[in-house]
Amino acid sequence: MQFTYIPLKKEKSLYTWTGVFLVLFTAIITGYVTQFDIREAVIVLPGILDFILVDFLPPALKAVPDFMTSLLDTLCMAIISTTTGAVISMFFALLCATPTTPNSIVKLVIRGFASCLRNIPGLAWAIIFVPAFGIGKTVGLLALTLGSLGSMIRFFTETIEEVDPGGIEAVRSVGGSYWQVLKSGVLPQCFPGIISWALYNLELNIRASTIIGMVGGGGIGFFIQFNIKLFRYEYATMAIIAVAVLVLLTESISKKIRERIM
Amino acid sequence: MKTDSKITIIPENQKVFYIVFFAAVAILYILSIFQLKLNLSGGLSNFLKAFEFMGKMLNMDFSEWKDVLYGALESISVAVLATIISAVLAFFVSFMAASNVSVNFLTWFWKGIAAGIRAVPTLIWTLIFVAYLGLGPFPGVLGLCFHSFAYLVKAFSQSIEEVKEGNIEALKATGATWLQIMARGVVPPTKTALISWTALRFEFNVAASSILGLVGAGGIGHELSRAMRSFEFEQAGFVVLVIFLMSFGIEMLFHKLKLNVDKRKLKRQ
């Protein structure tokens, strides 16, 4: 057996340096546009840490009763929008995925529709709906549902497209109709994937619904922003901790469910 | 073997689980609706109003294009800068946070910090920074950096932990120092994953930076909230179009560059 020594190539290090240079160059340009000064950042950092540690701590326990309802509202908004979004997305995804689509025009239209919804952030939807529906939970619900539709249609479509074609062929070969193909060939296989994506989307929606309140969508985001504006930072901290606990709790529950079904 | 036995498509125990799961979802859904006390009486007229406003938005007004495009540039710059800074910092920290190349104490420390930061949404971090630093893109960059850093530390250290033990062992056997092991054994196999994660985070950061303006951190979000607050739907329509194009363009670009990380990894986290 022969051992060869592989030297580091010269060109390779040239690539690396070009990359480093390009990144630095972009950083400088963008720093100029945003007037971001790294020295200033280093100088203010201790101040920020001090601000967070001194002004925001300790969390005010007495704020808990004030925001319990809005926290629950936030959770409910996330659950409703994810479930509604998942059901509608499932319908669209079946129309859009290659194995189950009725024709390619429908597919293209739904793809474009999903892309439009996906690429406009949920918060922007919320702002758009506020003038029509007024500040409140309806805005939050609509914005979250639309936002989740965009991403879930895409993820569900991908999941359905990854279904083993053998199953579909098997049902077709014994004379199964379109519905029978769906029922026995497609759906059972993609259930785990779809539930898993929906749970992931629920996590995203819980994060999003906490901030959607800041632009008038109801829920705990409003409480946080309101208290920061009033300089009652300890109250805001308590609410932020509650949000973090809610996020971590949902993550661990959905992880458990995923492990069970995958 | 009995002749009448059926081959079930979904195993029996899974079936029970699915039934319980869907029943639980349905109950939670109904409970949530009751909790929110949704009032749909004025619903239809509100929907009509929403459609009317959206119709106005489609009739775009380009007169403020200078401000809007500058806002877009600012937003993208915020996203780029935040991604670069956080990726560089996270790169160095992730070696301390990966359990296979670091010591227990450091791993717990950094993973704890990352988990803590990540649990609080990006916009809330920005809100805190805006409260301290005042309005403008500067707190926006810092707020985005904070959350991206935590996210990337987690993603990077996970990629490092996936490096085969053999690589590290082999280099150790030759008497390589820790730095040499990192440079030759750990960085090369994880390089693609690190770049993909950064690209994924960049995509997220662009979406986030376009709405940072809503809490006072500058950029195109500020234009949107300004236009909507003064009921200039035609201008808002143009802003939404630009936001869409920004985010869509980056999605397309990464699709072309094949930088799309396997997003399924996300849900395995």
Q: Which amino acid is at B49?
A: K
The pLDDT value given to residue B264:
47
Q: Check: CB of residue B96 under 8 Å from CB of residue B110.
A: yes
Query: Per-residue pLDDT tens for A35-79?
Result: 777 777 777 777 777 777 777 677 777 777 777 888 888 888 888
Query: Per-residue pLDDT tens for A234-255?
Result: 888 888 888 888 888 888 888 8
Which chain A residues contact residue B247 at CB under 8 A? 119-121
10-residue mean pLDDT series, chain B (269 residues): 60 77 86 76 71 76 78 85 90 85 84 85 82 79 88 87 83 83 82 82 84 78 79 80 85 70 46
Q: Check: CB of residue B60 under 8 Å from CB of residue B236.
A: no
Nearest CA to CA, how far is B206 from chain A (Å)? 10
Nearest alpha-carbon partner for B124 in A171, A14, A233: A233
Q: Dihedral through CA A89, CA A90, CA A96, CA A101, nearest 10? A: -150
ipTM comes to 0.74
User: Which of A34, A115, A233 comes nearest B137 by C-beta?
Assistant: A34
Rounded Cα–Cα distance for residues A138 and A52 (Å): 33
Is residue B254 exposed (0-12), middle (13-18) or buried (19+ Cβ within 10 Å)?
middle
Token representation of residue B96 = 């301390």
Rounded Cα–Cα distance for residues A207 and A194 (Å): 20
Rounded Cα–Cα distance for residues A211 and B170 (Å): 49
Count of pairs with CB atoms under 8 A, one residue in A, one in B? 187
Domains, chain A, with CATH or none: 10-55 (no CATH), 62-261 (1.10.3720.10)
Contact A52 B128 (CB under 8 A): yes
Contact A48 B132 (CB under 8 A): yes
In chain A, which among 143-202 make CB contacts under 8 A with chain B?
155, 184, 188, 191, 195-197, 199-200
Name, in order, each residue with C-beta under 8 angstroms of A77's C-beta and a sequence gap of 6 or more: A137, A140, A141, A144, A205, A209, A212, A217, A218, A219, B32, B36
Which chain A residues contact residue B146 at CB under 8 A? none
Rounded Cα–Cα distance for residues B212 and A135 (Å): 20
User: Which of B14, B136, B225 comes nearest A127 by C-beta?
Assistant: B225
Which chain B residues contact residue A215 at CB under 8 A? 214, 225
Domains, chain B, with CATH or none: 56-268 (1.10.3720.10)
Q: How many CB atoms lie within 10 A of CB A31?
A: 19
Give A113's DSSP letter. H
Nearest CA to CA, how far is B55 from chain A (Å)? 12
Nearest CA to CA, how far is B69 from chain A (Å)? 13
